[in-house]
Amino acid sequence: MGRIVEVEAYIGEADQASHARFGETGRNRVMYGPPGIAYVYLVYGMYDCLNVVTEPAGVPAAVLIRAVEPIEGIGPMRVDRVVRATTRRRTLSADRMVAEAERIAALPVERLAAGPGLVGAAFGLTTAWTGVDLCDPGSPLRLEAAPDAASIQVSATPRIGIGGAGEPWVSRPWRFVVRGSRSTSGPAAAR
DNA sequence: GCAAGGATATCG
DNA sequence: GATATCCTTGCA
C-alpha cells in the first residue's frame, strides 16, 4: 500500500500524447470503457505503467500513476523490484544481478516507487492487470481515498516524456504532484 | 549521452 | 512480415 503522489492526465483522441490518438486499438480498448478500471501498458520493453481509466464509457481517458510513496509492504516491494530488475534483462551477468539486488536493497523507502515504471515494478504489475476494477473494495488492486486528501497541496506542471515541440498538448499542465513529497519521480536535482 | 526489451502502429 | 517508435530508467 502507498500514497499516490504524482499523476498525469490524458484525455480524448485529440490529445496527441495519449494512446488514444490513433483511435480505439487492441491495446487501448479499456480506455474507451467505464471509469475506475486499470489500464497497464508496457513501455520501452521493460516497464509496466499503471493508469486509471477516467471519464464515462466512449470517452477515451486515463490518469497515469507516476509515483507512489510506500506505506505498507516495503519488503515485498523491494522483492518485486529485484525480481523485475533481474528478469527483464536478457544480458545480465550474475555479478550484475547481485549488484542490482544490493542497489535496490539500499534504496530509501521513499524512492521504491518514485517513477511510473517503478510503480509497476514495486507493485508487481504487468499488462495482465489491465481490466481490474480499482474501485471494487474486494479487488486485489484498488484505490482508496486518502484520509487527509483535503489538506494536501498539489502543484501542476507539463507532462513528462511526450514529444511534439511547440504543440499545445506538450505544454498543457496535466501532471500533478503532491507538494513536498520525497517520492516524486526524477533525479534529486530536479525535485 | 545512450543502451536496454518488447509490444505496437504503420507501413510494405 | 519488417521497422521506427514508445506516457522509462540507470549507468557510461
A173 CB contact with strand C at below 7 Å: no
Distance A59 CA to C12 C1' (A): 44
Nearest nucleic acid nucleotide to A103, CA to C1' distance: C10
Q: Which three cell numbers stand for residue A58?
A: 466512449
Specify the pTM: 0.96
Length of chain A: 191
Question: What 3-state class would DSSP assign to A77?
Answer: helix
**Tens-digit pLDDT profile for residues A21-45:** 999 999 999 999 999 999 999 999 9
The pLDDT of residue A26 is: 95
What is the residue type of A66? R
A65 CB contact with strand C at below 7 Å: no
Indicate the helix (H) or strand (E) that contains A11: strand A2-11
The answer to whether residues A169 and A15 touch, using CB atoms and an 8 Å cutoff, is yes
The pLDDT of residue A163 is: 84
Angle, vertex CA A58, rays to CA A55 and CA A60, nearest 5? 60
pLDDT under 70: residue ranges of chain A = none
**Nucleotides of strand C under 7 angstroms from a protein beta carbon:** 5-11
From residue A141, alpha-carbon distances to A11, A64, A93, A136 in Å are 23, 15, 33, 9
Indicate the helix (H) or strand (E) that contains A83: helix A74-87
Nearest nucleic acid nucleotide to A65, CA to C1' distance: C7
The answer to whether residues A60 and A13 touch, using CB atoms and an 8 Å cutoff, is yes
The answer to whether residues A184 and A5 touch, using CB atoms and an 8 Å cutoff, is yes
DSSP result, A28-71:
TGGGGS-SSBEEEEEETTTEEEEEEE-SSTTS-EEEEEEEEEE-
Distance A162 CA to C9 C1' (A): 16
The pLDDT of residue A165 is: 77
Q: Please give the DSSP secondary-structure letter assigned to residue A2.
A: E
